[in-house]
Structure 1
């Protein structure tokens, strides 16, 4: 896939996620419900991946997935930063690096859509049983696509860290990023790269995450009372 095609996908994912976040901010009740869903999911994932968080080798990668890809934080500023630096990224980064970022943004946009659907049914206060019922009402195909994006992001990062010179390219970007007040975005890029670079078997980490999330998905749709 050419850089131009990847950039088109990147911009579309940015727009989709930003539109979702903007619509939420216009209604306080909807925002509270959305944050409640995100907090529940974040706490669930901490429990699911406690062993990876406790391991020195995989802790950084687990935190990257939990905070940067699935976290409850408001990513509006990051979206704005990305939109501004797209031309710079297109010039400096290889297609494989742009593909990694694009996969992460497509995961983000889909997750925002699914979270909005859940929040509309749950409100700001709900039980675990109510969360599971709302989850089962979302599209199973979209949930499976969400996990496929997780694998794609992880696999892209695994490939990225094997490329020569990519670490140096990210370092070269620090100065223009700082001058353009894009330090937050630069930190996001470097955290993902560094976290996967530190693991001896990053592919095993990705397999573990995909296997566990797929198992939870299957148990939820099967009506298992303890899917997590």
Structure 2
């Protein structure tokens, strides 16, 4: 019998592959390739993110060693991580309750996605994704922040915050050489909104 974690990783694998397929044109732009990898692997990749998510909840205790970053700067990032984890957990439970095979396809995925009936929450998730991309891009302009993240790995490890620190550092590295993020953020938002409305059979407004 397959475990909850196995179904969860199967879900994340499908989502990551779907994102890579739907946004392959963005990843093909050299400037956006590192951002795409971060988005596909570190946000939605097929792995157990429980340690990263636990670290994110304790992030405020780490920020005092990262100059130029305050809790209000990353509140939406923390909310996005939390909402995404909850939504994925819910879909995983629905797949198991449906008796779906571990090799479920995109049709079954969209069926449970629609049956979850949380359009407004999905809309909020999309808004958070767009806002987080824009805000983290703004933060990545700070060389002081980059120096602090690059030099604080040992402190983070000793403090039991290594997974959260690695997530922040990879995000910074993915965005530091990007000259503008608007096209990436707007494309993600607009295409995912079209997909969301298609799944819920809502008309575009």
User: TM-score, normalised to structure 2's length?
Assistant: 0.81
CA displacement at 1:50 relative to structure 2: 1.1
Separation of aligned partners in 2, 1:84 and 1:111 = 17
Counterpart among 111, 133, 147 of residue 126 in structure 2: 147
Contact 1:69 1:104 in 2 (8 A): no
Aligned residue for 1:112? 85
User: In the comparison of the two structures, how many residue pairs are matched?
Assistant: 197
Q: Does 1:94 align with 2:73?
A: no
Q: CA deviation at 1:85?
A: 6.1
SS in structure 1 opposite 2:91? helix
Q: Aligned-pair distance for 1:104?
A: 2.5
Q: What SS does the corresponding residue of 2:46 show, helix, strand or coil?
A: coil
Q: Distance in 1 between matches of 2:161 and 2:122?
A: 32
Unaligned 5+ runs, structure 2: 97-101
CA-based RMSD of the aligned residues comes to: 2.6
Structure 1, unmatched stretches of 5+, are 1-26
Name 2:149's counterpart in structure 1: 170
Match of 1:72 among 46, 55, 77: 46
Q: Cα gap change, 1:188/1:222 in structure 2, threshold over 3 Å: closer, same or farther?
A: same
Shift in Å, 1:69? 1.3
Task: Pick one of 22, 28, 31 that aligns with 1:57.
Answer: 31
Question: Structure 1 residues 53 and 112 mapped into 2: Cα distance closer, same or farther (>3 Å)?
Answer: same
Alpha-carbon deviation of 1:223? 7.8
1:181 positional shift: 5.9
